[in-house]
Amino acid sequence: AAVAQSPELSSQQQRTVDRLIDQGLEDDVGWELLESLTTEIGPRLGGSPDEARAREWGARKLKQLGFKNVRIETFEMPYWERVTETAEIVSPYPQELKITALGNSVATPEGGVAAEVVRFRTLLDLQDAPLEGYEGKIIFVDEVMSRTQDGSGYGWAVAKRSGAANEAAKRGAVAAIIRSAGTSHGRTPHTGNMRYSDDVSPVPIAALSNPDADLLGLAMKRADGPVTVSVDISVHTKTVVESGNVIGEIPGKSDEIILIGGHLDSWDLGTGAVDDGAGIAITTAAAKLIDDLPGKPNRTIRVIMWGSEEVGLLGAFAYAEAHADELDRHLLASESDFGAGKVWQFRTGFAEEHLPKAQVYQKALRRLGIGPGNNQAGGGPDVTPLRRAGVPVFRLYQDGSDYFDLHHTMEDTLDKVDPEALRQNIAAWAATVYVASELEGDYRASESE
């Protein structure tokens, strides 16, 4: 691709970037939002009355902060919630096992199921196993997840959530259990959404905490004969409930849109501090810093608190559909949804010809310890449908070394967030969004313009 001459910020704009970073590093708005959301609302499962309370909270906060065009864009969705979930080793060594049902799991029959456990080291081992010989068994996928800075261990780990249930169902097993798709050494099993294949008869699936998976493995190693486990899961579902995206704007001089945000829903086990109260707090506080500058930004900054991300990016798809006719005015989109660790890298998803512009961002962010990254950014989960529709994206990569100790567990609470790291995020987002607003030109391939 041809390389265009790199645009620059004016020296006044560069000074503004630096001032925004200084202010971000002393920001209190972000922490206040996060404390308020986790304390006053707490867990807010997609489609639940708690998520509805969170939407009211979000609209109220955006208005109080001075955002314009504040609105809730609703959509309909199916609903799933856990009711009870218990498990134990029945024999030969009776002991409780800490489990949590995966989102969308069917219930066990009333009173639970008890059966011999068959262990597979990995999902791949299970996929390679014969289809016969597992009828009536409980299938245990004991695959371990790796700790990584960039979260790259999570993709493999997630595969086992739907994979274990579907492979177990194909083989006539009565339930599937997996080692948590998380890195915590705590007895805090990790939930997350799963989907059944159309061609199987669904079997219930739950995750064991890492220590409980260790325990079950040791029991199987030490026992002379079969190890029997019981699993009891009950759930509650509804065909249609309401969810929604909360939207607020800082109107710009042009109708081009810079779309940022985090997702408002959380899993039900914790208070959704790192996933994704932090993303809400970071992006809202960053936009507020830009709103506080004299005059209007060049482009409109649209903050979205996405609804029902955890249960299938439902808010993201609803937005992409409802706003299909203005997606070509979306200059850039990005979501903060990887916790509250410090940003360490800036990645882009620009048309190749616009890569020189990335250097303007890199220069602005360098003092925050943020290095240049590749051009393979996805932009964040809720941006996926927009990226597929051609909207350019960026991502401020956060250090996720401890993210999967917390994420989707009851340990996702406010005390796990480092206020200094949160402020570094706010500074980085304020600088990035300001550059996006003021820097001339766009990020799409010219043939598509």
Please state, in angstroms and as integers, the Cα–Cα distance from residue 165 to each residue in 15, 136, 178, 312, following that order. Answer: 55, 14, 9, 17
> What are the structure tokens assigned to 93, written together?
């060594």
Minimum Å gap between C-beta 154 and a second copy is: 21
With CB under 5 A as the rule, give the number of residues binding Zn ion.
4
DSSP of 305-336, one letter per residue?
Answer: EESS-TTTSHHHHHHHHHTGGGGGGEEEEEE-
Minimum Å gap between C-beta 164 and Zn ion is: 19
3 state SS of 118: strand
Residues 65-104 that bind a second copy (CB under 8 A): 92-96, 98
Residues 222-251 that bind a second copy (CB under 8 A): 222
Those residues with Cβ within 8 angstroms of residue 365's Cβ, 6 or more apart along the chain or in another chain? 343, 346, 428, 431, 432
For residues 177 and 134, give the distance between their C-alpha atoms in angstroms, rounded to a whole number: 14
Minimum Å gap between C-beta 1 and a second copy is: 49
CB 403 within 8 A of CB 413: no
Nearest C-alpha neighbor of 286 from the set 33, 45, 84: 33
153 binds, among Zn ion, a second copy, none (CB under 5 to 8 A by kind): none
Minimum Å gap between C-beta 53 and a second copy is: 9
337 binds, among Zn ion, a second copy, none (CB under 5 to 8 A by kind): Zn ion
Minimum Å gap between C-beta 208 and Zn ion is: 19
The one among 232, 265, 291, 337 contacting Zn ion by CB under 5 A: 337
The one among 15, 60, 71, 185 contacting a second copy by CB under 8 A: 185
- Binding string to Zn ion for residues 274 to 303, with x set by CB under 5 A, is what? -xx---------------------------
Stretch that binds a second copy, among 38-46, 306-314, 319-327, 385-393 (CB under 8 A): 38-46
Nearer of residues 297 and 400 to Zn ion, judged by Cβ: 400
For residues 27 and 184, give the distance between their C-alpha atoms in angstroms, rounded to a whole number: 30
Query: Is 187 an interacting residue with respect to a second copy (CB under 8 A)?
Result: yes
Query: Is 416 an interacting residue with respect to a second copy (CB under 8 A)?
Result: yes
> Token pair 């208070």 is at which residue?
271
Query: Is 42 an interacting residue with respect to a second copy (CB under 8 A)?
Result: yes
Residue 41, phi-psi category: left (phi > 0), alpha (psi -120 to 50), beta (remainder): alpha
Bridge-based pairing state of the strands 300-306 and 343-349: unpaired
Give the residues lining the site for a second copy (CB under 8 A).
35-36, 38-43, 92-96, 98, 185-188, 210-211, 214-215, 218-219, 222, 270-271, 410-411, 413-416
